[in-house]
Amino acid sequence: MHAFICLSINLTMSLTYPSLLRPNTTEALTSNGQTITIPKLELQLRRWEGAGLNHTFGKKPLIDFGGKPVFAELCIYELMLLSGWQARWVEPFAAGAMTPKHLTRWADAGIGGQQHEPITDPIMLDLLLKIAQANGNTYAGCWDVVGWQGEAVLFVELKRHKKDRIRPTQPRWLEASLQAGLQPANFLLVEWDLN
């Protein structure tokens, strides 16, 4: 028997979302017998038709964002910036448990060739550390992009429609975040596909 968390979220009032990333539905995530309903955005992105990259981080599809090839994570990062937010793509892969890479662009190189653009906001750094500590001293499962504007914080996880699934570590990061004082409205699942 699942214990359900009942939420009455007014998606437009609980949190000021980036103007270009407003949720249009919800998704229920289950972990440790609890179901947590979070905001969700279904999004169509334009496929990159130009020359590809040599290093696509595991054959990630390329998106056409303003005439340049980017991964979906960097598309969301750019949409946050255009909405007046600060953001980073947080990538724990090939990094220490407590030292993920913070990315703002992708050089045509492997993960080791990417430029780390550290978050310098002390409140965000403290929040991320608190969540990682509650998550067993690891960033494993950290959602793809973190954005902030003033006191508003948003973690965004990207999943390609019918091609990606939530990994078991991601609901654990959500749970650790809730323990750290965030709400389900501080999370956004972006289910995207190429049009």
Q: For residue 98, what are the CA distances in angstroms to 5, 109, 186?
A: 30, 23, 22
pTM over 0.95: no
3-state secondary structure at position 177: helix
Taking residues 20-25, what's their average pLDDT? 96
pLDDT band at 15 (very low <50, low <70, confident <90, very high): low
pLDDT band at 11 (very low <50, low <70, confident <90, very high): very low
Q: What is the per-residue pLDDT for 183?
A: 95
pLDDT at 3 over 80: no
pLDDT in tens, 167-194: 999 999 999 999 999 999 999 999 999 9
Strands 187-194 and 152-160: parallel
Q: For residue 30, what are the CA distances in angstroms to 55, 122, 138, 166, 180?
A: 34, 31, 20, 10, 19
Taking residues 78-99, what's their average pLDDT? 92
Going by the DSSP 8-state scheme, the letter that residue 130 receives in this structure is H
Burial class of residue 96, CB neighbours in 10 A (0-12, 13-18, 19+): exposed
Domain limits for position 78: 3-194
pLDDT band at 12 (very low <50, low <70, confident <90, very high): very low
Instruction: Tell me the C-alpha distance between 71 and 105, whole Å.
Output: 9
Could you give the percent of the chain with pLDDT greater than 90? 77
Q: What is the per-residue pLDDT for 4?
A: 25
pLDDT in tens, 100-158: 999 999 999 988 889 999 999 999 999 999 999 999 999 999 999 999 999 899 999 99
Taking residues 67-92, what's their average pLDDT? 96
Per the structure, how many domains does the chain have?
1
Instruction: Tell me the C-alpha distance between 166 and 182, whole Å.
Output: 20
3-state secondary structure at position 79: helix
Taking residues 29-40, what's their average pLDDT? 89
Sign for the CA dihedral angle at 119, 121, 126, 127 comes to: negative
